[in-house]
Every structure is written in C-alpha cells, then in structure tokens.
Amino acid sequence: MSEQVLSEGRLPVGSVGKRASGWWGMLCLIATEAALFGYLLFSYYYLALQGGGVSFPPAELPKFALSGPNTAILIASSVAVWWGERGVKSGNRARLVIGLLIGLVLGAVFIGIQFLEWSNKNFTLSSTAYGSLYFTITGFHMAHVAAGLVGLALMAIWGGLGYFDDVRHAPISIGAVYWHFVDVVWLTVFFTLYVTPYFW
Amino acid sequence: MRARRSIGRGGRRRVRRGGPAAALRAAAVALALGLPGAAWAATTTPLDYLSGAGEKTNAITPLLWFLIWVSIAVVVIIGGLVLVGALLRRARRSSPAEVPPERTRSGLSWITIGVGLSTIALLVATVWTVSTSAAINEPDEPYGLTLAITGHQWWWEVEYRGDTPSETFETANEIHIPVGVPVRIELRTADVIHSFWVPALTGKTDLIPNITNVTWIEADHAGVYRGQCTEYCGRQHAHMGLVVYADEPQAFEAWRQDQLAPAATPDAELQVGLAAFTIRCGACHTVRGTAAGGQLGPDLSHLASRSTIAAATLPNTIGHLSGWIADPQGVKPGNLMPRLDLMGTELDAIRTYLLSLT
Amino acid sequence: MSAVEYERAPVIADGGFETPAAERLEKIWETAPGIRGWLSTVDHKKIGIRYIVTAFVFLVIGGIEALVMRVQLASPNNTLLTPEAYNELFSTHGMTMIFLYASPILSGFSNYLFPLVLGSRDMAFPRVNALSYWIYLAAGIFLYSSFALGHGPNDGWFNYPPYASREYNPGPNIDYYSLGMILLGISTTVGAANFVVTLIRARCPGMSINRLPILVWGTVTVSVANLIAVPCVSLAFFLLWLDRNYGTHFFTESGGQPLLWQHLFWIFAHPWVYVIVLPAMGMVSDGLPVFCRRPLVGYTPVVLGTITTMVLGFGVWMHHMFAVGVPFVSTSFFSAASFVITIPSAVAVFAWVATIWTGRPVFTSAFLYFASFIAMFVIGGVSGVMTASVAADLQLTDTYFVVAHLHYVLIGINVFAVLGALHFWFPKMTGRLMDERLGRWAFWIIFIGFNLAFLPMHLTGLFGMPRRIYTYPEGFGWGALNMVTSVGSFLFAIGVLLYLVNVFRSLRSGARAGSDPWGAPTLEWATTSPPPPYNFPVIPKVASRHPLWEKQLGEGIGESSVRRGLLLDHGREIPGTSGLDGDPDVILKMPGDTYVPFLLAVALAAGFVGLLLQLWWLIGLSVIGCTAAVIAWLWPRAALGQRADRDRARARGTVA
C-alpha cells in the first residue's frame, strides 16, 4: 500500500564487478583448485623424500630448453588477457577480443609444446613413482589450461557479440582471474618439477 | 615319547594372564564395580590392557587409568549438571511459547571456569603422555635378543636372529622371550599392512611395505600373553593371532636350543608321513633337515612344540590339527592354504608326522 | 535486445502475505507443478528437504547394514555371514553413514534455513544448489550399485593400500568406491562454495556477522574447510584409481608409498569429522536457547570456538596414524595438538550447560534431544581425549574402544542433533507439529537403546576386541558384552522406527502450526509455516541477533523491521550485502527454474560410469554433454543483468 522510493539512493542492478556472486564463486573455485595442486606437489615432495629405491628425477636432470620458453609463453598469455580486460574496462571491444585471442593462441601453443616435451621423455606414467607424478601433475595442469582455453574462446565470442561494456563485464573479470590462477599454478609446478631437482 | 605326553610345551596351560596380574586386575575392577564386577572381570580377558606385564605397559597402564578415571568423572559431572540443571530450572509448560524469554545473567563464568578446569586436566594429560612416550621409546638396558617378524596374510613369520647363521632360526605365530631381557623386534610385511600388538607387553606398531619398523618388548614376569593383528588386512584378519611366552632365562635357553636343531629324524613308522608331507605340503612349508623347503607358509620344523595352530586360531590338539589340515578353508575361509582333500591313511600319516615335530 | 536497468532506487513497502505484491512475488518465485518442476526447481526449500529425505534413506540403509553385523557379532564364532560379506558390510556401512548421511543431512538443514535465517529469498547460486543435490543423488546411486552387484567397498571406509590396490583387490569394488567418492566430492565442493558465497553476499540489511545464527557460522566454517580438504581425498582416490588401472606407482612399488595414501586420506578425513559435527552443534546452539527461553550464553566464544576447532582440525591428522612408526617427536606434537583441540569444544559444552542453568527449560521432545546431546557429546569427547594420548592410543587404537568413541560422536553429536532439529523445524517446513507424546516415547527408546549398545562397547574395547573382525572366539570376555550391544542396537533401531512413524503421521495429520509455534527469536519464524516460495513479502532489516525477541529482551540498536522493507519484485531478486556489516550494495538478479543442473549431473554421472567401465565413447559423450551444459549455464543473460545495454553504451560512448 504505502510504497515509498528509497531516499537514500540508488543501487546497481545485476552482475557488477566484484559485487557479482560469480566473482566470489570463482575465488572459491580457485581456492579449491589451488588446494588440489598443493596436494599434488605435497605428493611429489613426500615421495621424493621417502626414496623407496627410486631417484627423483631418474638419471638426468630436467631440461629448460622447452620448459623455459613455455613458461614465458604462458606468462605472456596472461599479460595479453590482462591487457584485454583493461580494454573492456574502458569500453574498447576490439582490444578485449584481441587480447583474449592472443591469450588463447599462446595458451594453445603452451599445450602443444608441453605435448612435445611429453613425447621426448624416456619414462612413462607407469615406469616409476617419478614418472607417475611427472605426467599426472603436468597433466592436471594441462587439463586446467584446456578448460581455460574454452573459457577464453567463449569470452572472445561474447565480447565480439557486444555483450560487455565498462560497467557490465563480470564474466571477463571472472574468466581472467581463472586464467591468471592457471599461470601461477604453472610457476609452482615448474619450480617443483624443473628447479628443485637441481637442489636435491 | 614326547609327542604323546603333551601337545606342545604350553599345551597344558590355558592362554591366560599369569596369576598375580589377574588378581591385580580383579582388585582394580572390584574397586570400580564392586564384587559382582570383579567376579565377572576375573573371567578370561587375554587381550585386555588394563594391567601390564612388561616394562612398556607398566608405564602406559597408570596413564591409561588416569585418563579413564578423569573421563568418568567429567562425564558424571557434566551429565549431572545437565540433568540437575534441567530439572531445577524447568518451566512446567506444554509449550515454550508460554514462557517469555529473558536474559537473566550472562552466564559467561560457566565457560571461563569450565574451560579453565578442563585445560588443567588436559595439560596434565599432555605432559604425562609426552613423558611416557619418551620413556617407552627405548629400553633402559641394551637389547638381549632380536627378532625379525614378517607379517603375511594371515600368519606371523618369526626369525630369531643370532650372531651367526647357525644361531638363526625361523618359527611362526608363537614367540618365546626371556623374562627381564629387552627384546628388539623388527617388523616387515610380505604383502599388505598389518599391525603387531601384544596388549600385556606393548602398544601397536604397524607393518608397512618397504618399511622396517622397530618396536621392543620386555616381560617383567613369566607368563603367556596373547597378541593379535590390529590393522585390517583382508578376509582372515579376524584370525591372525599370536602367542608370546615369557620364560625364565633357563627355560628360554632350553627352548631356543630345541628350536635351533633341525627336525627330529623320523623313524620307520614316520617315514611314510614325511614322504606324504613332502609331496603334499613341502611346496609351501619348510621342515628343516628334510626336503620340504617351501617358503610360502609357516616353518613347521617344531610344530608340535607350539600350543596353537593357524595363527593362534585353534589349540594344537590332535583333533584340531586333523581338522585344520583336512579343511583349512572351513576353519579360515579365504586363507591361502588350499583344501587338499586329505583323507584316510594319508591324513593320518601326515598328522602323525607333524605331531612328531617337537 | 533489452538489458535490465543498470541501477534503480528499490522500493520500500509494507509487507503482507495477501497483498497484490505478495501475489506477484508468488508467481515470480513459484515452481512449476509435477515432474517439470521436480526436475528443474532451484527453490532452496525444496532442495533442502530433498537432501534431508535422501540422507534419511541412507541412514536407514546404513542402519540395516549395522543390524545385520550386530546379529553376526552377538555371539562368538557365528556363521551368519562369510568374511567377504561382513567385510563389505562394515565398509559400506561406514561409507554410507560418513559420506552419504552425515554431511548431506546437515547440508539439507542449512540449505533450507540459510535464506530464511539470513532474511533473504534464495542462496547466492540457486542452480548450483540444484546441481549439488543431483550429483549427490547420482553418487549415492553409483556407490550403492556396487554393493547391489556384490562388488561393494571391502577395505573399510579408509581403504588403505596395498590391500586396496589391484594386486590384493582385483575386483571392481575399489574402482567403484574411488570414482564414486570423486563424484560425490564434486557435489560437496560446489555446495560448499554456495554456502560461503551466500554468507559473504546474500544476507538481509543489518545482518552483520555478529548477528548470524550459530548454524550459519558452523556451516560456513566447514564449507571453507571443505574447499580446502575435499580435493585431498578426491586426489587420493584418483591416484589410487590410476594405480589400479594404469599401472602408476603412487602407493605401491617402484617408489610408491602406502603411507602417502594415509597422509592424503587423513589430511582430508580428520577435518571431515568436524564437517559432520560443527553444523550439528550449531543447530543445537540455535535450538537449545529457544527451549530455554534465553539467548545462548557466550555467543562470541562459541563462534570463535567453532572456527578454532576447524582450523586446529587441519593440524591433528596424524593421530590416526600413531602406530605407523614415525618418530616419537612427531607423534608427541600431534598428540599435544589433539589435546588442545578439546578446549574450543569445551567452550561450547559449558555454553550449553550455562544456557540451561540460566534459562527456563521447557521439556519438549526437541529439548530432550538437545539436552541429552550435551551428555553424549561429552562421552564422545572424553573417549576422544583418551585416544589423543599417543601412549594410551597405541593400546586403544583399532579396538572397539575407538568404535565406541566414533559412534558417540557421530550418533551423539550428529544424529541426536538432527532428530532434535527436525522436531524443532518440522513445523516450519511442513506447517504441522510432530506429536509430542510419540516423540517422547521415541526419544527414550532411542536414548536407552543407543547407550545400551555403545556404552559397554568401551569395555569391549578395553578388553582388547579388535575392529573389523567378522567373528571372535570364546574365552576372551567379549561374548556377553557383544550380546548387550546387539540388543541395544535393535532397541535403538526400534526407537528410530518410532521416530519415523511420528514423522509420517504428523505429515498427514499433525496439529497445524502457525508461523511461530515455539516463540522463537530468529527470522525464519517471522514468515508462514511453510514459507511461501518467496520466503518474505519484503526483505527484513535486522538490528540484533534475536529480531523476534527484541521487545522482551530490550536489546538491539534501533529495531528490527520485518513488516516493512525492500520489496524487490522486478523478477527474482535479492539484495547483495557487503561483507561485515550487511549493507546492501547491489540488487542481484537470480536465475529461475532450469533443467540444466539436472542434465549436467546426468552427463557427469555418465562420464563416471564410462570411467568405471572404461567405455571411451561414453566418456567422450559425457565430456561433450558437460561442456554443452556448462556453456548453456554460463551464457550471459540479459535478464540476469549480465549483459551490457548497447544503446546506453552507445549513448555514453562506451560501446564494447
């Protein structure tokens, strides 16, 4: 009956920036996936320290020839996505889509080089505990990259369709933070698998 | 002949705690539960750990009783507070909606006092626990004996380590140790995870693949102590027991010499049994001094000296032994000793031979 | 293409259940009738009740499994069950109770209650809510199909390798268990995210964090823990599945270590035991004060105790591994930590005792459960303290003493709280009261039966009876005790049966309940019983922890307002509120009913069946199906305020 307009002011409506539920949901997803990688790396360190007659890594130390540039490629893809996200915040659709597509291509290259590295290994998933860990850890990461690629593609499509502007672009922020997370995970995986053996 | 007089050295003794310990336990329980309880508790409970018979358990048991008494007191006090409080403060209405809510007192002092008292009890328990753990970590004197126990599904392989190979021998499921001597026990497993436990003498230690765990026991008086596997290891986990005899040093040495010797040479009568045994059982079992050298099952060189069979599942009597070797799957379904359908004269011959292995 | 407005000044109105505005809201929020609505609803109340019903079904199934075991164990050398059958029973019983009953039942209550006690109309993620239920149901069916086919889990609920590895367990039993648990973990994780974000963002104005019901604190605490802990067990099961099927070496041979499994499992499973009790303790902390007619004593200490318990719960896992042979420095640390974790629980116990002593308890059935819960909690707690002592634990572990302990904490803390909570919230959910007389009969039979079954079990354990044995010999002093336990367990079951009879009868013919039959303080009692689909005709604004008791208690800054507040009727909407203080800062557009969560759950489950049977085409179809469903789900929708308004952007020169 008596309806009265709020005199205190207006409220934004819909998915706006960090007020979008999806943003917090993505943070929860990142927390749980970060824990997952934490446990994967824990397993690596545990089995490495326990020995059991198997050396970590077997025979030769891991090489940086492929993994080094690959790391740089993944970092660059994050930079591209970040640059694209800045674009949508200033209403620049072209920059958004280009940034996402560059990120997508670089991410795909990352996966390709990773497969190349896999094929170069002289051990398999079932050779020893080290082999099991190496392929499982990098495999889990690759799966997350692949999911991220699907996300980047979708974001590029949606951006191209004009779905976003300077106020409403929550899916971009949400997808971008996921992509940066995948990048950070790679740094921890890279450190564990490629760098720490030089210190054993 | 020794075989006929008694089955195994401990055959006449029931598997039960020695006299003094049982009386002590009964007295303790009598204090707690009154005479009916004591009478009941004085029934056989060979796997209880409410009283100890070894150096380690002598340290653990008082701590355990402290925790039991404190726990009972806490339950009685808090349960009593709930009951008395509810009855004293009760509002006799059929529905809470009839009683207006009010905040009378803050009630926070209940929390501070209660948590304060609890913390004191917990602190005492923590300190006592840590000091007990440190005390039982290693014996005060050097080890006098080393055993290497390997767990199998579902029996215990026991190797007595001597200084030379000729002083080393194997047996299964029944352990003898000298009273008053710390015994070092190395624990390994041939298959899955098991756990070694002799409640009167020691807490549990797991047997884990690729790892050698070490524990120790020392009995402070002679007696028979039951043990059990206490980590689920498959179908016959329920029937993987062991028996520990703490013997006076001379008796132990006599036992050890007996066990070191190869199996008694069978006379003509027993040759038939030996032949049948070698063919039917020798692929899995060893009897030292014969052609039977299988490694899959327990060493049977002195089977007749043991008081139990099938990992302490059955007493070692003629009837039980016959039943066991005739139908092991009936006694321990799923265990790895196959049913060979031994019958009639063959069964008799093998059994008679086994009974000669003192 | 029209996008929703970018901002507006929301209307404040007087609320009523019969007004035109209420009718409008009813149409906006109602679920379609019949099977359509059943498969597509995102109504948190319906989903919550589904969780509760399904969890109770698993409780009964798990209980029957227990009764069969108790018949086998009632006397020595019994031959009712083969060793294999017994081993599958005890493993499935544990899996059922710990995973398919104990957590989902609490999720059900939380799902039902969160928006109501928080003064809102829905959870933050309504579709995720539906998804978490469907996946739970699918995982339960998946896991139970193994048992029905004679391939149930058979290595206990903690499933240690090497016995769980292919060499010693060649059948599909452990593959079922592994994959089923991973599937269930997805449900738990997405549900946890929903509770966390709902707390952070979806409260009503004025609902600052010091005004939240303890149930909310309990559920959100364990949800944060779940986000961190569940990946650990999912990973463990995945690695085990790889070991069993692809020859990897995580747990056995060639550098693999069985202890890695134990660490990964218990790093999850110890926090999990708090996951299945802290929300139950929260329900008692919220319910007991209602029947004692005063606010909970020590709200802040209890909240801090809840959080502390959960945090410390991550630091004690090795007390399940005291016997594995780690150095005594390690075990001493974990032993000390396990003693310390008792302290925050003691805070809650004394808070409850104080609430009774400074209140005016009314002896309803709910009160009986909540009061006796305190005693059961303490019994479970002290037996836990005994096992915290590593020296004592090396005797107690793997005996029936631990079985007694875990049943006191699981039944005493979880089940007793649930039975009381159902008496308490049944009228809100159904509009009818449960029968009090039958309720009291059921309570006493349950209480006596439970204690008769499990109190002597402490003695059985002290007499050395090991766990997980399908039979035991004469002459060990266990026969009479086991018989008493078996009799008690049947009595307990009869009590539970009576309780369920009460539920069914009351559903049909119980006395009608108004909106607030108990005279309770929190927001769920400010709406009808059962609530309308939109929960509240206007969004309440709260000024204290006990909005409906403000007049009597004379507390709060200002006054809570239930009859007048934000209307929010431009479609399905809830206010988004800021972190600590609960100030509204956005109007969130909520999705309506949709089949997508159901379809996604089906596609996901199909993929797991494919993994179990190694059918690559099925796995492929599942991947395609899941991807399609997720894309459909996430596609930005104008009605949800996820898309830009192009005209507006053009006008402002910010076209993108």
Given this model, what pLDDT does residue C507 score?
Answer: 97
Domain annotation covers residue A56:
no
Domain map of chain B by residue range?
A: 22-45+262-355, 55-94+106-135, 145-256
Residue B23: predicted pLDDT: 56
Q: Compare B104 and C339 and report the one with higher pLDDT.
A: C339
- Domain with A67 in it: 22-48+61-198
Q: Are B58 and B260 in contact (CB under 8 A)?
A: no
Check if A6 contacts C (Cβ < 8 Å). Answer: yes
- Under the banding of pLDDT at 50, 70 and 90, the label for residue A55 is confident
- Mean pLDDT of the C400-412 span: 98
The 3-state secondary structure of B310-330, one letter per residue: CCCCEECCHHHHHHHHHCHHH
The pLDDT mean for chain A works out to 91
In a domain, A10, yes or no: no
Q: Is B157 exposed, middle or buried (0-12, 13-18, 19+ CB in 10 A)?
A: buried
Average the pLDDT over A25-40 and give the result.
98
In the predicted model, is pLDDT for residue C491 greater than 80? yes
pLDDT tens for C215-232 read 999 999 999 999 999 999
Q: Which CATH superfamily is domain B145-256 in?
A: Cupredoxins -  blue copper proteins (2.60.40.420)
In angstroms, the CA C20 to CA C23 distance is: 5
Determine the CATH number of domain C37-509: 1.20.210.10
Asked whether the beta carbons of residue C347 and residue B313 sit closer than 8 angstroms, the reply is no
Name every residue whose Cβ is closer than 8 Å to that of residue C285 and which is 6 or more positions away in sequence: C214, C215, C218, C296, C302, C348, C351, C352
B37-68 pLDDT, tens digit each? 444 444 589 999 999 899 999 999 999 999 99
How far apart, in whole angstroms, are the C-alpha atoms of residue C514 and residue C431? 7
Q: Please give the mean pLDDT across all residues of chain B.
A: 89
Q: With a CB-CB cutoff of 8 Å, which residues 61-90 of chain A face chain C?
A: 88, 90
Q: Which amino acid is at B105?
A: R
Reduced to 3 states (helix: H, G, I; strand: E, B; else coil), residue C520 is coil
DSSP code string of B82-145: HHHHHHHT----S-GGGS--------HHHHHHHHHHHHHHHHHHHHHHHHHHHHTSS-SS--SE
Boundaries of every domain in chain C: 12-36+519-589, 37-509, 597-651
* Any domain includes A7: no
Tell me the two tokens of residue C634.
Answer: 């996430």
pLDDT above 70: residue C557: no
pLDDT of C1 over the 80 cut:
no
Phi, psi of A58, deg, nearest 5: -70, 140
Of the pLDDT bands very low, low, confident and very high (cuts 50, 70, 90), residue B20 is low
pLDDT value at residue B37: 44
Report residue B170: phi and psi, to 5°. -115, 145
At B106, list the tokens.
Answer: 């803050």
Question: Between the CA of residue C655 and those of B40, C1, C5, C380, C510, what are the distances in Å?
Answer: 88, 15, 16, 63, 61
Does the reported pTM lie above 0.90? Answer: yes
Q: Does any CB of chain A come closer than 8 Å to the CB of residue C553?
A: no
Asked if B238 lies within 8 A of C156 by C-beta distance, the reply is: no
Of A181, B256, B84, nearest in space to C353 by CA: B84
The C-alpha atoms of residue C237 and residue C607 are separated, in whole angstroms, by 16
Question: How far is residue C523's CA from residue C561's CA, in Å, rounded to a whole number?
Answer: 10
Do C17 and C563 contact (CB within 8 A), yes or no? Answer: no
Domains B22-45+262-355 and B145-256 share a fold: yes
B33 has a chain C CB within 8 A of its CB:
no
CB burial string C386-419: b at 16+ within 10 A, e below? bbbbbbbbbbbbbbbbbbbbbbbbbbbbbbbbbb
- Residue numbers in A near C128 (CB within 8 A): 25
Q: What CATH number did the domain enclosing A167 receive?
A: 1.20.120.80
The least confident of A191-200, B5-14, C152-161 is B5-14
* Calpha distance C376→C371 (Å, rounded): 9
Length of chain A: 200
3-state secondary structure of B22: helix
Residue in C closest to B187 by C-alpha: C325
From CA C512, how far away is CA C650, in angstroms rounded?
Answer: 58
Model pLDDT, residue C81: 96
Residue C553, classified by CB atoms within 10 Å of its CB into exposed (0-12), middle (13-18) or buried (19+), is middle
Put simply, the answer to whether C297 touches B203 (Cβ < 8 Å) is: no
pLDDT digits over C236-252, tens only?
A: 999 999 999 999 999 99
- Residue C455 to residues A8, B128, C90, Cα–Cα distance (Å): 61, 26, 20
Cis peptide, bond prior to residue C327, ω within 30 of zero: no
Confidence of residue A3 (pLDDT cuts 50, 70, 90): very low
The domain tally of chain A equals 1
> C349 is written with which tokens?
């116990």
Please give the single-letter amino acid code of residue C532. Answer: P
pLDDT at B3: 37
Amino acid present at C153: P
In the block, residue with structure tokens 């020392």: B218
Q: What's the rounded Cα separation, in Å, for the pair A85 and A177?
A: 10
For residue A199, what pLDDT is reported? 85
Calpha distance B200→C396 (Å, rounded): 13
Task: Answer yes or no: is pLDDT of B26 > 60.
Answer: no
Domain B22-45+262-355 = CATH 2.60.40.420: yes
Which residues are paired to B155 by β-bridges?
A: B152
Burial of B353: CB neighbours in 10 Å, binned 0-12, 13-18, 19+: buried
**Predicted confidence (pLDDT) at residue B300 exceeds the cutoff of 70:** yes
The answer to whether residue A33 sits within a structural domain is yes
Mutate to test the interface with B, among C321, C342, C362 (most CBs of B within 10 A): C362
Any chains having at least 3 CB pairs less than 8 A from chain A are: C
| Average pLDDT of the segment spanning A52-69 | 81
SS3 category, C541? strand
The answer to whether C87 and C470 are in contact (CB under 8 A) is: yes
What value of ipTM does the predicted structure carry? 0.95
Per-residue pLDDT for B33 more than 50?
no
- Residue of C9, C642, C656 lying closest to A162 (CB–CB): C656
Using alpha carbons, select from A182, A137, A135 the residue that is nearest to residue A42.
A137
Burial of B27 (0-12, 13-18, 19+ CB in 10 A): middle
Residues, chain B: 358
The nearest CA of chain B is from the CA of C469 a distance in Å of 4
Instruction: Tokens for B198, please give them.
Output: 């002799």
Q: Over chain C, what is the mean pLDDT?
A: 95
